[in-house]
A and B are shown apart, each in its own frame.
Chain A
């Protein structure tokens, strides 16, 4: 069961340390049920990495079955094997590389007419294919019948119906995988009749046969691909000095256009779909079933305004729920307002965040007191540096995990694309497509999932826009800091609400505006991103699937960003405890205090001067690690057990407090976000520029706002 995990290098066939006997690649359309099947097949032994040099993720896992260790490699979700997207190129190159003995081509049993297209294309490239139908449970419900045996006979490769959700067909699949390697069933590739194009294909075959570059590819396949126009193969020919071959191919393509009058790619794709539909006509029977409740829900969510409104309410409620479970906020405040003071405190006390931080504080104190006698410095390093650092990674987790749960529920239920549709027109005005709604919503929970949700976009430039701009969305941590400042310095409830509202609006506005700016100025694209989205039937999300998706994302975050956060937390400990004259126990003497003092002049434009200013400056620096720590730091420096008192003791005016809220909202949210921006963009320069951009912008805007309010108040 627990097979070893093949290392990423094993993609390049490292013979000496093979930890598996057989490699099977899995290919399928987006949303076909690939992740679910992969999870069921490999269990927990999954290794996640990126394909070399790109941000596309690769997953592999090993499953031992009847003594044979099968390594599954999950290829990116794709619609075809042309080379128009990075995902297609990766999948194709991997299949051609021969690293895998077998390829599983997935077909969505609820839409075989469309999804059989990809496996048929596979069969043009390699005969070692197993066709696996997913979601057969759903198929039965929808009144679709498929003659799997007949299909098997027609195609000459194994066809296995499965339902990953009900663990049906998994044994059969594993058995087939082991047996097929003993006696390969199919030796020849599928030959689709391309009709009028056949003579052109044979012309190109003669040309391609002379190419050294393309001899790794099946001749007929490469010829068809070149006739269709294949960026990747053309680049290969160009870079290997076979331009003459490319030119000859081009002239054949021109001849097709002249004699038939249409684009060869269109004719070829059409012919392939005709081949598919000739098969499905024989093996698929659809019996119309009466519309189920899903269809009715579907209809409601499809209506432009009703759908958008409903989704918005749904998401806000889930976010509030997450907030409350995580920190008790804002449920505790509501309870307090309606007079249930004690209930409010209970909620706050038993919230996840407080339980976790309490646990780590206890652990930290325990360690400190037990090894203090041995070496005070070591005790402090372990308890204040390492344990608290670990604690800050872990206390992030509940919020991140729960926000991922929302994302998972949106994805799994089929609501996500519908929400994207409702917001497409609005977001399009800012150079985004409807997909940009995910960072917007998730960001209010936590910016880490928001940045990661950029993966939903198929437009590279839009992905960059999302990664770059998502950290502007005010997350829960900022909400907490802002609320503390508002509660301390704003008396009027109307002003309080106004301050909170404008804080959100400014963050969202910057997200939108920056997106447009990045598209225009950085990516230099003037047209708007298009929206092409598949809409699966709406269904109630399945807990198991939610757990998989959310845990997958969280693990990813922990691995990549956890180490960075931890290291920097320890670094901060060093800064706090190291003084020019060696280690120090006094916070006021450390390098951190020196830095705080040195930069406290940045607060002069806010008229914040005097002895307390360095505390705010230092708290702002701490805010780079995590926004919550702004309050924590103020409490520690104010030598006050109660955060509210500590904040109040700063004696800020309303304009000062408000501009500080804006500053805190708009500058870089936390280290975790910086880490994830790097992880998603794989671009150090972009990450640095982003951090500087946000910080500078936040500073300038808040100064401007402060001076403006001051001026207005003076006029009045």
Chain B
């Protein structure tokens, strides 16, 4: 069921499971609100960076970065 953010379809909601990155990047993302368990809305995901909305903020993540974020579908899950 789990996949990376790169494979998340545009317009869907996904829940962060884990971030597979060095301590620096991981903490930065978490401090920006992308914590495991958090629900993201995938706004744009075609060619360029993946754009998500989290905690009322829009964030763009390069595809390399996005491929390090494990997510699963969160359709129907209430955004906290």
- Enumerate chain A interface residues (CB-CB to B < 8 A): 79-80, 82, 84-85, 110-114, 117, 229, 262, 265-266, 269-270, 273, 277, 286, 302-305, 417, 421-422, 424-425, 428, 433-434, 458, 528, 530-536
Can you report 21 residue pairs joining A to B where beta carbons are below 8 Å apart?
A79-B28, A79-B31, A111-B57, A114-B32, A266-B30, A269-B31, A270-B36, A273-B35, A286-B56, A302-B43, A303-B44, A305-B47, A421-B49, A422-B48, A428-B64, A528-B64, A530-B64, A531-B49, A532-B25, A535-B51, A536-B58
Q: Are B58's CB and A84's CB within 8 A?
A: no
Please pick, from B43, B54, B60, B62, the residue contacting A417 in the complex, using a CB distance under 8 A: B60
Using a Cβ–Cβ cut-off of 8 Å, how many residues does chain B contribute to the interface with A? 35
Contacts of B29 in A (CB 8 A): 532
Please pick, from B51, B57, B62, the residue contacting A114 in the complex, using a CB distance under 8 A: B57
Q: Are A270's CB and B24's CB within 8 A?
A: no
Q: Does B7 contact A (CB under 8 A)?
A: no
The complex places the Cα of A534 from the Cα of B63 at a distance, in Å, of 15
Contacts of A273 in B (CB 8 A): 33, 35, 38
Smallest distance from the beta carbon of A333 to chain B beta carbons, Å?
Answer: 36
Q: Are B60's CB and A533's CB within 8 A?
A: yes
Interface core residue of A229, A266, A530, A535 (most chain B CB under 10 Å): A530
Q: Are B27's CB and A535's CB within 8 A?
A: no
Contacts of A265 in B (CB 8 A): 23, 26-27, 30
Supposing A425-B48, A532-B29 touch, asked if A110 and B62 sit within 8 A by C-beta, the answer is no
Q: Are B48's CB and A534's CB within 8 A?
A: no
Q: Are A117's CB and B62's CB within 8 A?
A: no
Q: Are B24's CB and A532's CB within 8 A?
A: no
Smallest distance from the beta carbon of A427 to chain B beta carbons, Å?
Answer: 10
Q: Are B55's CB and A84's CB within 8 A?
A: no
0/1 string, B46-80, CB within 8 A of A gives 1: 11110100111111111111000000000000001
Smallest distance from the beta carbon of B22 to chain A beta carbons, Å?
Answer: 10
The complex places the Cα of A111 from the Cα of B56 at a distance, in Å, of 5
Supposing A229-B23, A425-B63 touch, asked if A110 and B56 sit within 8 A by C-beta, the answer is yes
The complex places the Cα of A477 from the Cα of B35 at a distance, in Å, of 48
Q: Known contacts A111-B56, A273-B35; can you find 10 more A-B pairs with CB under 8 A?
A: A79-B32, A82-B27, A84-B27, A113-B55, A114-B33, A265-B27, A270-B35, A305-B47, A532-B59, A533-B59
Supposing A266-B36, A425-B47 touch, asked if A277 and B61 sit within 8 A by C-beta, the answer is no
Smallest distance from the beta carbon of B55 to chain A beta carbons, Å?
Answer: 4
Q: Are A534's CB and B61's CB within 8 A?
A: no
The 5 nearest A-B residue pairs measured at CB: A531-B62, A80-B31, A79-B31, A114-B55, A111-B56
The complex places the Cα of A434 from the Cα of B62 at a distance, in Å, of 9
Q: Are A117's CB and B31's CB within 8 A?
A: yes
Please pick, from B54, B55, B65, the residue contacting A530 in the complex, using a CB distance under 8 A: B65
Q: Are B32's CB and A534's CB within 8 A?
A: yes
Q: List the A residue with the shortest CB-CB distance to B29.
A: A532
The complex places the Cα of A113 from the Cα of B61 at a distance, in Å, of 20
Supposing A270-B36, A304-B46, A421-B48 touch, asked if A82 and B31 sit within 8 A by C-beta, the answer is yes
Supposing A80-B31, A114-B32, A532-B32 touch, asked if A304 and B55 sit within 8 A by C-beta, the answer is no
Q: Does B11 contact A (CB under 8 A)?
A: no
Contacts of B62 in A (CB 8 A): 424, 428, 433-434, 530-532
Q: Are A84's CB and B36's CB within 8 A?
A: no
Contacts of A424 in B (CB 8 A): 48-49, 62
Contacts of B30 in A (CB 8 A): 265-266, 269-270
Please pick, from A117, A428, A535, the residue contacting B59 in the complex, using a CB distance under 8 A: A535
Contacts of B32 in A (CB 8 A): 79, 114, 532, 534
Smallest distance from the beta carbon of B50 to chain A beta carbons, Å?
Answer: 10
Q: List the B residue with the shortest CB-CB distance to A29.
A: B32
